[in-house]
Every structure is written in C-alpha cells, then in structure tokens.
Amino acid sequence: MTFEIVLAIIATSLATYSSRFFGVLTSIKINEKSKIYRWFNCLAYSTLAALISRVLVFPNGALLETSYLSRIMIVLFAIFIFYYTKKNLVYPTVLSAIALTILNVYF
C-alpha cells in the first residue's frame, strides 16, 4: 500500500511541477499589460469569487455546522483585513480561520 501512495505522490508532483515549469518557460514573452493577460487575470479572480460564494451558500464538511450569518461575517472580516493590510493574503486567511473557530466555539 505504501508503494501506491509514493507512486501517487510522484505522479501528482510531476503533473503539478511540470505545468509550472512550462509556465515559467512561456511566461518570459508575456506582456502583463496585454488584453489576453488581463482577461486571464479576471477569469482567475471570477473563479475564486465563485468558489467563495459556493462555500458560503452550499458548505461542506465542518462548515455545515456554522450559520450563514457567521460565514458572511467572517468573509466581510477577511475582506476588511485584506484591505487594511494593504492586500496581503496571509493575514486575512489566518485571522478568518481563527475568528470562525472562535465564533463556532463561543457563540
């Protein structure tokens, strides 16, 4: 069984890092101000927004035990922290996880 796990880790690592490697090779000629680059950037942000909305409306796992109000409050809190920390992603991620835990345990 451990051989299969190691083989799965190697296969997924090769798939992940080979695509990143080829992305680095091809990114040299990309103009960051081009329309296609901005379109892909908008596509990535819209996908992220859709995933966050899905988690808010149709949660899975442990988030099923939380209320809609607490989830919406945590998202608003994370957005506030994101802009307060000058668009740093680390602080809102960590602080929103802590705040959601506190909301679920004590309220």
Domain boundaries, the chain: 1-30, 31-106
Asked whether the beta carbons of 81 and 95 are under 8 A apart, the reply is: yes
Return the structure tokens found at 93.
């991620």
Profile the chain (107 residues) by mean pLDDT over runs of 10 residues: 88 92 86 89 92 90 88 94 94 94 88
pLDDT for the residue numbered 107: 79
Return the structure tokens found at 77.
């809190």
86 φ/ψ angles, rounded to the nearest 5 degrees: 60, 50
State the average pLDDT for the chain: 90
Q: CA-CA distance, 39 to 28, in Å (whole number)?
A: 18
Return the structure tokens found at 56.
């808010």
Q: What percent of the chain has pLDDT over 70?
A: 99
pLDDT in tens, 1-28: 688 999 999 999 999 999 889 988 888 8
For every residue of 66-107, DSSP letters joined together read S-HHHHHHHHHHHHHHHHHTTS-SHHHHHHHHHHHHHHHHH-
| Angle value at C-alpha 43, between 39 and 36, nearest 5 degrees | 20
User: 98: closest CA among 76, 69, 80, 78?
Assistant: 78
